[in-house]
Structure 1
Amino acid sequence: MGCMLQNDVRNTIDRVWDAFWSGGISNPLEVIEQITYLLFMRRLDMNQQRAEKKANRTHQPIEHPIFAEDQRHLRWSVFSEQSPEAMYRTVSEEVFPFLRSMGGEESSYAEQMKDARFTIPTPMLLAKTVDMLSEIDLSNTDMNGDLYEYLLSKIASSGVNGQFRTPRHIIELMVAMMEPGPQDTICDPACGTAGFLVAASEHVREHHPEILRDPALRARYASGMFHGYDFDHTMLRIGSMNLMLHGIDDPNVHYKDSLSEAGDSDAGKYSLILANPPFSGSLDYEATSAALLRVVKTKKTELLFLAHFLRMLEPGGRAAVIVPEGVLFGSTTAHKKLRRMLVEEQKLAAVIKLPSGVFKPYAGVSTAILAFTKTDAGGTDDVWFYDVHADGYSLDDKRSPIEANDLPDVLARWEHRGDESERSRARTEQSFTVPKAEIAAQDYDLSLNRYKEIEYEEEAHREPGEILDEIDSLDSGIAADIAALRELLA
């Protein structure tokens, strides 16, 4: 689950953040982008230092040097020692052009970075930021992840097009349920800052350490395993740097409107999809893929994305995706058709209802996780439902940590969903299974409340006579008190 950030690191980030605001940069995405560039420069220098140590040990030349000999002055360890004015000149006039040309013309990184702009307004603000970021220990990958999460959590207001970040603990639950392995090809077609891809990469590294030892697997991990698309260039830059900070050297993160004709080329390419697609995005109906509209004729982005996920998966491929609750019970033809497809033509495994505060402060929308496998030949026997009441955080705008947390239980029960212990649970419990025939009979309604049974507790009532006696004695007590008061006043 990563190590929680130490307070001193949080404080450093908060100080950097405040310095930007007082320096006149108040757009949170721009602040994050500039801090990310700086962190990234420091990371590049660390990678080269590591390569140099290895070269010294093995007496071999450095395999892929990041900086050539005549580019020494572009390294963090060198320019961070300069005077503020000299540093400002180096970074703005030389380091940024270097970043824009990195990775050759072909890499996705070069594609994101060709627009990289240095917008820190003054040498003093740059020097102050570089000093503060130098204090942070970046040698620990978990730490990098937590640091980045904390930065991203500062995008407090909901972005455009219904974009908002998926909380990391929800992402980690979905990744653990899907158990990605070295052979998977993983995609998030609405990747934003790449949270799902990063968590999947961490899961693979932790559970399949051989991926870092076997050269072929390692090469695949670094460049072929993780794919993300988005149509927001700033998000793509942040997302690809996020992946690179997590050891994915050549992230496949590209600009694409997944619902347009451009998405057609992704059919059957992926074995695992993890996503939280935009719900209420404005849709350019004219630009939407005709092939997709033939599957489901709708303007609702969440339905089009679901149809697109099915199209992107290879046979046997699986998905865990977040949908707004309306997908589960919406009554339009498109809603019903998609649910029928999931239940009858594919293998729908689970519907996990999340509490409506999970996405606060971005949005109060009620959502659910759908887990399914693409078979194109049916296979749904039972659907497993889980009603999450608590996710370890308060469900208000503050989202403060609390004791109550169902997520470990979701994972434990999910792993036993085929066992008799799970299949025989009563429908009054937090999880239960519903046979396919019953779901079909309900017009493929997938809302948990349709099938959940509520337990009413018998309430013990007192005898009416007893209650009347009590009222009597209270009345006479009041009468006596009033009489006593009258005597006092007389």
Structure 2
Amino acid sequence: MSLQQKINRITDILRRDDGISGAMHYTEQTSWILFLKFLDDYENEKANEAILSGADYTPTLDDDHRWSVWACPKDANEQIDHLQAKSGDDLTGYVNDELFPYLRKFNNNTQNTRSMAYKIGAAFTHLDNKIASGHTLREVLDIVDSLNFQSDAELFELSQVYEGLLQNMGDAGGYAGEFYTPRAVIRAIVEVIDPKAGQTIYDAAAGSCGFLIDAFEHIKKTRQQLTANQWDFVVKDSFFGFEKTSLAYVMGMMNMILHGIESPNLFRANTLTQNIRDIQEQDRYDVILANPPFGGKENPQIQQNFPIQSNATELLFLQHFMKTLKSGGQAAIVVPEGVLFQTNAAFASVKQQLLEDFNLHTILSLPAGVFLPYSGVKTNVIIFERKGGTQDVWFYECEPAQKLTKNKPITDAHLQEFVELYQTRATTDRSWTVPAAELKKDYDLSAKNPAKQVDIEHQTPSAILADIQKTHAATADLIAELETLITPA
């Protein structure tokens, strides 16, 4: 059975459980089980490395709560010992009443919030076992036990399969949409930003961590050129994020680990509760990649954390990103169309600061339908650097030949020309440059393709008057003709 077939089998098993309802549930439940199997393999590998180097290694979990003890104990032939393995009510009772409370206690260890122990506690604080049947859980555990997280090839394949589960959640629409930004959009943004080893990369609305993971994969291409210390920095100290919702936090944590980021610096918190006035240079990042939530409203208490107050979530996030970008750093942020065209006091003030204190050099206008089925809002990607001010803004209008739908999503091909033109900022039928001075007149930054503008012929007043008189005379003649037709003889 292939790895994809195993995951599909798990999904089919969970679908018939009374406690599972929809893609969100079976992805969540698959996640915590995969996480504990990964943790067991990870700690076994660390223990073996310690033995070879003559060092000591203390596992995070105690012996009673290791996967190899409670989930899938083995016999002398390294086969699952079904006489010792729990099932039915014994299994669900153990998981609900003993395992989960034990794992949640790690969240109390706040001395090192970047430790594996803290991340375990943080994840399981927001998780519950929703699998109602212990027999169902037993089937799933047996399948997951056959996965090998110590194999780079299998770990890579599993990461791809897991991405498919997350996409299914996004395709389900509604609440699940917050987890999934179309990967074609992410890949194009990461390609043009070109993050490098040694940089810190940040997403304050991480969701399933698609931006951070793609940035990691991009840097991973240069792994052979890096020293051991440089690579250690990449997998442990490069990627940072915050996520507000508990389920998205768990999905993102698992997704990063499955892709090879050993110690994700992902934290569950509402980013907007941070007062940006307190942010110092040491709190800033080299690269910011994000698709923050839009359309939400924040209360006055949250708004107090920002110099320019607004109840629009997207405007608050934009101020946060501007404040957390390092000097010389670069950011690419997905924003709704309203951020660009609205010119009320708050929006105009933020955009004034963006144009004057940052180099807003690129705006990618995405087509409508990119985020279907869970949002039809038209969006853009703004790309800026924290150096100097804006001189010119290069616009690119992505306009597929066919309308995007849930079943016909945006693809890499739709954004290929944007990626190719990005460095040269060439002018084409889809791209153009606007001086910053022109944009500062009203701070409307929405894309207005000059190639589509219709030239209007401006007539002289005398010519306009002649046209009016001509039209009036023709109208009078028509009325007279109608009167002759309706007047009795």
Please give the TM-score of this superposition, normalised by the length of structure 1. Answer: 0.78
Give the aligned partner of residue 479 of structure 1. Answer: none
Give the aligned partner of residue 286 of structure 2. Answer: 271
Give the aligned partner of residue 444 of structure 2. Answer: 445
Question: What are the residue-to-residue correspondences of 1:317-466 with 2, within 5 Å?
Answer: 317-375=329-387, 377-378=388-389, 380-390=390-400, 395-399=404-408, 405-417=413-425, 422=426, 425-426=427-428, 429-441=429-441, 443-449=442-448, 451-453=450-452
Residues 1:129 and 2:140 are matched in the alignment: yes
Q: 1:347 offset after TM fit, Å?
A: 0.3
Give the aligned partner of residue 476 of structure 2. Answer: none
Q: C-alpha distance in 1, partners of 2:265/2:162?
A: 19
Q: 2:128 is matched by which residue type in structure 1?
A: R
Cα distance per residue 1:45-72 (max 9 Å; x no partner):
322443455456x363564545566666
Moved more, 272-281 or 88-97: 88-97
Cα distance per residue 1:4-60 (max 9 Å; x no partner):
xxx96555434433332321210543322211011112212322443455456x363
Match of 1:46 among 41, 48, 66: 41
Residues 1:304 and 2:298 are matched in the alignment: no
Match of 2:272 among 259, 278, 295: 259
What SS does the aligned partner of 1:344 have?
Answer: helix
Q: C-alpha distance in 1, partners of 2:53/2:352?
A: 63
Match of 2:207 among 192, 196, 202: 192
Residues 1:17 and 2:11 are matched in the alignment: yes
Q: 1:395 is matched by which residue type in structure 2?
A: L
Task: Please list every run of 5 or more consecutive structure 1 residues that lacks an aligned counterpart in the other structure.
Answer: 1-6, 457-490
Residues 1:204 and 2:219 are matched in the alignment: yes
What SS does the aligned partner of 1:78 have?
Answer: coil
Give the aligned partner of residue 225 of structure 1. Answer: 238
Residues 1:117 and 2:117 are matched in the alignment: no
Residues 1:287 and 2:287 are matched in the alignment: no
Q: C-alpha distance in 2, partners of 1:69/1:163?
A: 37
Q: C-alpha distance in 2, partners of 1:394/1:240?
A: 34
* Cα gap change, 1:210 to 1:66, in 2 (>3 Å): farther
* Cα gap change, 1:161 to 1:23, in 2 (>3 Å): closer
What SS does the aligned partner of 1:163 have?
Answer: helix
Give the aligned partner of residue 258 of structure 2. Answer: 245
Q: 1:161 offset after TM fit, Å?
A: 11
| Cα contact 2:398–2:430 (8 A) shared by 1 | yes
Q: 1:303 is matched by which residue type in structure 2?
A: L
* Cα gap change, 1:95 to 1:219, in 2 (>3 Å): farther
Q: C-alpha distance in 2, partners of 1:359/1:451?
A: 26
Cα distance per residue 1:428-447 (max 9 Å; x no partner):
x1222222233334x23222
* Cα gap change, 1:210 to 1:121, in 2 (>3 Å): farther
* Cα gap change, 1:67 to 1:331, in 2 (>3 Å): closer
Task: Please list every run of 5 or more consecutive structure 2 residues that lacks an aligned counterpart in the other structure.
Answer: 75-79, 456-489
What SS does the aligned partner of 1:398 have?
Answer: coil
Q: C-alpha distance in 1, partners of 2:385/2:410?
A: 33
Q: 2:156 is matched by which residue type in structure 1?
A: D
| Cα contact 1:385–1:432 (8 A) shared by 2 | yes
| Cα contact 1:279–1:302 (8 A) shared by 2 | yes
Cα distance per residue 1:65-94 (max 9 Å; x no partner):
455666664376537653534655665555
What SS does the aligned partner of 2:214 have?
Answer: helix
Cα distance per residue 1:225-247 (max 9 Å; x no partner):
21111221222122222222223
Give the aligned partner of residue 463 of structure 2. Answer: none
Give the aligned partner of residue 163 of structure 2. Answer: 149
What SS does the aligned partner of 2:448 have?
Answer: helix
Q: 1:369 is matched by which residue type in structure 2?
A: V
Q: C-alpha distance in 1, partners of 2:22/2:93?
A: 24
Q: 1:214 is matched by which residue type in structure 2?
A: A
Q: C-alpha distance in 1, partners of 2:258/2:101?
A: 20
Cα distance per residue 1:221-276 (max 9 Å; x no partner):
34332111122122212222222222323322223222224555444421211111
| Cα contact 2:223–2:231 (8 A) shared by 1 | no
* Cα gap change, 1:452 to 1:399, in 2 (>3 Å): same
Q: C-alpha distance in 2, partners of 1:77/1:210?
A: 40
Give the aligned partner of residue 484 of structure 1. Answer: none
| Cα contact 2:398–2:414 (8 A) shared by 1 | yes
Q: C-alpha distance in 1, partners of 2:236/2:174?
A: 29
Q: C-alpha distance in 1, partners of 2:399/2:81?
A: 52
Cα distance per residue 1:201-227 (max 9 Å; x no partner):
22222234455x423x34433433211
Moved more, 178-187 or 100-109: 100-109
| Cα contact 1:175–1:196 (8 A) shared by 2 | yes
What SS does the aligned partner of 1:153 have?
Answer: helix
Q: C-alpha distance in 1, partners of 2:292/2:64?
A: 45
Q: 1:165 offset after TM fit, Å?
A: 2.0
Moved more, 198-207 or 77-86: 77-86
Q: C-alpha distance in 1, partners of 2:403/2:70?
A: 43
Q: 2:312 is matched by which residue type in structure 1?
A: K
Indicate the RMSD between aligned Cα atoms, in angstroms.
3.2
Q: 2:178 is matched by which residue type in structure 1?
A: Q
* Cα gap change, 1:309 to 1:267, in 2 (>3 Å): farther
What SS does the aligned partner of 1:449 have?
Answer: coil
Q: 1:18 is matched by which residue type in structure 2?
A: D
Q: 1:188 offset after TM fit, Å?
A: 0.8
* Cα gap change, 1:328 to 1:169, in 2 (>3 Å): same
* Cα gap change, 1:126 to 1:317, in 2 (>3 Å): same
Give the aligned partner of residue 234 of structure 1. Answer: 247
Q: C-alpha distance in 2, partners of 1:183/1:100?
A: 33
